[in-house]
Amino acid sequence: MLNSLAAGRHLAMRVVIAQIGVAIIAGLAFSLQGRAAGLAAFAAALIVAIANALFAARAFSALGGGAATFMRFLVGMILRWIVLVGGLALILVQWKLPFLPALVGLVAGFTVNVFAFRFKG
């Protein structure tokens, strides 16, 4: 059981680090269109990384039975969605940054999740 928790933490750390890297790349790529576009892409991808880090910290926090594990997973998922929706609202409504770069940054951040399970090492 400890091994699966350690493996989960390790994979989550790799995914979050990769998402931060993608956030930097997306921000630099969209900065060619202007400062606001670059900031929108960077912030959206970074919010995905922060949300996944919070989820992983909650889901892989401790040992327990099936019910406790499920509750930690559920609370982590709820935290993740609160951060995602709140972060996107902050980006689009409060800061009034462009929608398309924010959407591309969001998708780029989530794309890391797809590729994280395809490559091992």
**DSSP code for 31:** G
- pLDDT value of position 2: 52
In order of 17, 20, 35, 109, the CA distances from 27 in angstroms are 15, 10, 9, 11
pLDDT of residue 83: 97
- Residue ranges, the chain, pLDDT below 50: 1
Task: Identify the pLDDT of residue 31.
Answer: 98
Element at 64 (helix H, strand E): none
Amino acid 3: pLDDT: 66
Q: How far apart are CA 57 and CA 62, in angstroms?
A: 10
pLDDT value of residue 120: 62
User: Is the whole-model pTM more than 0.85?
Assistant: yes
